[in-house]
Structure 1
Amino acid sequence: MGTRLGELVERFGGQLMGDANLEVTGIAPLTDAGVSHISFLSNSKLRAQALGTAAAALIVSPADDEFIAAGYTGARIVTPNPYVYFARAAQYFHSLTAIVPPAGVHPTAFIGEGARIAATAHIGPKVVVEAGAVIGEHAVIDAGCYIGREAVVGEGTHFFANVTFHAYCQIGARGIIHSGAVIGTDGFGFANEKGVYIKIPQTGRVMIGDDVDIGANTTVDRGALADTVIEDGVKLDNLIQIAHNVHIGRNTAMAGCAAVAGSTRIGANCTIGGAANIVGHLTFVDGVHISAATTVTRSIGEPGVYSGPYPFEENSSWQKNAATLRQLHTLRERVRALEKK
């Protein structure tokens, strides 16, 4: 199935340079695009590839369009942010061929007493929905998922196969949770008496907003007394650990293998790099960006980029110190030579 360039512009905006009736069947990278594809240029370093692509049309920024207009013969959609335009176009092309699971409950699913499942929802094979749980309109619960007692799954949310969503947890509309994720496990809470650990009951919930993505095998612990909170628009990659009573602000994104210890509060529009570690009971303001593999041991009160395994610091300072560290061996030899003199 294809679509006209004019229809894309009607949906997503942009300035079309070329034939509005030209039909494209999909979107592809510059190097792989064929004569029926539209592609995109979001990195100016790839201008040479754009000039050589076989794509029928390109999504480009105004600056890149000025460069390639004379040498590229296909149509162009000029937009301030080609990568965002690509994302929206890719969603649209995917929707043209996506298989929508049928509404209804599979015969092998178990539905507990008092559970409420919208007529438009899809409940796959071997799913367990415990008593009192609520599954919203057009939600998709794939095979083998577990929905705990009185949990709530919002409209249009999709659980891929084998997601575990424990009792009393809630997720809003249009969420995505990938296979193997576990939401609402007990937090790591123990009191120590003379070397013996005494478990603290974890009685809070996990409260997840709208438009949240959670990757495969990521775990989010329920709160000890209050709730663990993940606000609207948060994106969590695979293999992330979110401990009890953590609060993550809206539109924050976190890359794979990161870990956040208990009761830390992360602001809105933050980014956390892969394998970063954040200790407990800290607070980040909005707009904090943590580089990959950084260990954060204190609260951050100013927006900015922070880096370093130990100790972490503002990124530009860390880069200077790292460059100095490379010269440490040479400096030592010079000092030894001076001492001999």
Structure 2
Amino acid sequence: MKLLSELAEHLNAQVIGDAACGVSSVATLEHAADGAISFLANSKYRKFLSQTNASAVLIKADDLPFLAPGVNALVVTDPYVAFALVAQLLDNSPPLATGIHPSAIIDATAVIGNGCAIGANAVVSADAVLADHVQLAAGTVIGRGARIGESSKLWANVTVYHNVVIGKCCVIHSGAVIGSDGFGFANRAGTWLKIPQTGSVIIGDDCEIGANTTIDRGAIADTIIGNNVIIDNLCQIAHNVQIGDHTAIAGAASIAGSTKIGRYCVLGGGVGVNGHIEIADGVQMTGMSMVTRSITEKGVYSSGIPATTNTEWRRNTARLRQIETLFQRVKQLEQQLSQLKDNGQSSSTED
């Protein structure tokens, strides 16, 4: 439990109401109960301010007049950021493991730092290095020579291949595979020949990798994920991709090989990015967009076709099939118009 006075000091916030009020959990305005702290970051939820049962609310000064009587408040400039900081303080997620489980398999040449926790049936291979306070949940496998940075957490059944480097304070969720072979093959007369993937994966500090996401090792050079990159569930990052610091990638996005994505980019859910292209810093791609060529200027980009009624979709599809015919007709009309103009100018000259 935290007192509002403690939270106010942590957030540099102003307390409205009882500074000695204690809160032990976070909740939405609509579903909060006594002992919970909530927040208002979007004005469309303002109607719940007068009805909430929360003990306290993180709020902007402009929204104070709408707050229910008797509800305490912490006045902040950005309620959503404040909510994230408070949620961290009140986080009651269980540890991934406690101590080193007897069933864990740890090679004699592996280096295990102080305060590490390794769960049941986890494997730490030869020459791997776990820095201080690393947590490995049950079934996680750390490959030969891999290095995991201080205070990083790997949930159950994460697989980290050989020589992968993961920075400090990272979180990698269950089922993620880091460092599997990139999709590298050469075609010889119709037969696919595998190209050994001899690079690795380097992940910076403070990153979060979602469940069942895969990040392929480089073909020759490394796949590189910058600092504070967040990647959602079920994403595919191919070999030799580089992702700049503070970029966010939403669920089911796929990035093809040797693509370079800048800093502070945001890729919405289901975005597909072609290989061997570059995306500038600060680019935002809306969900389901397909990126087929480089983007050199920051901004918001979109593609794809939004859902519509089946009748309208069929009509538009039928028209799309006629686009080449329509293009040729327009081209002919332009040529005819140009000839008419030329004839008209010739007649004027003769007169």
Q: Same fold (TM over 0.5)?
A: yes
Q: Rate the CA distance shift 1:274–1:98 in 2: closer, same or farther, 3 A.
A: closer
Aligned to 1:27: 26
Per-residue CA shift, 1:233-274, capped at 9, x if unaligned?
001111000000000011111111110000000011111111
Mapped partners of 2:180, 2:248: distance in 1 = 22
1:293 corresponds, among 288, 300, 312, to: 288
Query: Which amino acid letter does the alignment assign opposite residue 262 of structure 1?
Result: G
Aligned to 1:85: 82
Mapped partners of 1:220, 1:102: distance in 2 = 25
Mapped partners of 1:295, 1:100: distance in 2 = 39
User: 1:127 touches 1:142 (CA, 8 Å); kept in 2?
Assistant: yes
Q: Rate the CA distance shift 1:100–1:193 in 2: closer, same or farther, 3 A.
A: closer
Report the Cα offset of residue 12 of structure 1: 1.8
Instruction: Answer yes or no: is 1:175 the counterpart of 2:170.
Output: yes
Report the Cα offset of residue 327 of structure 1: 10
Mapped partners of 1:60, 1:137: distance in 2 = 38
User: 2:97 touches 2:135 (CA, 8 Å); kept in 1?
Assistant: no
Report the Cα offset of residue 105 of structure 1: 2.2
Mapped partners of 1:109, 1:19: distance in 2 = 49
2:190 corresponds, among 185, 192, 195, to: 195
SS in 1 for 2:15: strand
Per-residue CA shift, 1:270-329, capped at 9, x if unaligned?
11111110000110111101111111101001111111128xxxxxxx9xxxxxx99969
1:241 corresponds, among 236, 240, 245, to: 236
Q: Rate the CA distance shift 1:102–1:127 in 2: closer, same or farther, 3 A.
A: closer
Aligned to 1:313: none
Instruction: Answer yes or no: is 1:13 the counterpart of 2:8.
Output: no
Structure 2: gaps spanning 5 or more residues: 307-312, 321-351
User: 1:222 touches 1:245 (CA, 8 Å); kept in 2?
Assistant: yes
> Under a length normalisation based on structure 2, what TM-score does the superposition of the two structures give?
0.85
> Under a length normalisation based on structure 1, what TM-score does the superposition of the two structures give?
0.87
Alignment of 1:25-174 (within 5 A): 25-65=24-64, 67-68=65-66, 71-94=68-91, 97-100=92-95, 104-174=99-169
Instruction: Answer yes or no: is 1:251 the counterpart of 2:249.
Output: no
SS in 1 for 2:46: helix
Mapped partners of 1:139, 1:61: distance in 2 = 38
User: 1:202 touches 1:223 (CA, 8 Å); kept in 2?
Assistant: yes
Mapped partners of 1:201, 1:280: distance in 2 = 19
Mapped partners of 1:99, 1:307: distance in 2 = 40
Report the Cα offset of residue 174 of structure 1: 0.7
Q: Rate the CA distance shift 1:37–1:169 in 2: closer, same or farther, 3 A.
A: same
Per-residue CA shift, 1:168-220, capped at 9, x if unaligned?
00101111111110000000011112212211110001000001100111000
User: 1:103 touches 1:120 (CA, 8 Å); kept in 2?
Assistant: no
SS in 2 for 1:6: helix
User: 1:213 touches 1:236 (CA, 8 Å); kept in 2?
Assistant: yes
Mapped partners of 1:117, 1:99: distance in 2 = 21
Bigger Rg, structure 1 or 2: 2
My pick for the range that moved more, 97-106 or 17-26, is 97-106
Per-residue CA shift, 1:106-164, capped at 9, x if unaligned?
21111123100113101111111111000111100011111000000011101101000
User: 2:177 touches 2:213 (CA, 8 Å); kept in 1?
Assistant: yes
Instruction: Report the RMSD for the aligned CA atoms in angstroms.
Output: 2.2
SS in 2 for 1:298: coil
Aligned to 2:303: 308
User: 1:19 touches 1:75 (CA, 8 Å); kept in 2?
Assistant: yes
* Count of matched residue positions in the alignment of Structure 1 and Structure 2: 314
Instruction: Answer yes or no: is 1:214 the counterpart of 2:209.
Output: yes
Query: Which amino acid letter does the alignment assign opposite residue 47 of structure 1?
Result: R
User: 2:156 touches 2:175 (CA, 8 Å); kept in 1?
Assistant: yes
My pick for the range that moved more, 188-197 or 199-208, is 188-197
Per-residue CA shift, 1:17-71, capped at 9, x if unaligned?
1121112222211111112222111111111111111112111123223x425x5
Percent of residue pairs identical:
46
Query: Which amino acid letter does the alignment assign opposite residue 9 of structure 1?
Result: A
- Which 4+ residue blocks in structure 1 deviate beyond 3 angstroms? 97-104, 325-329
SS in 2 for 1:104: coil
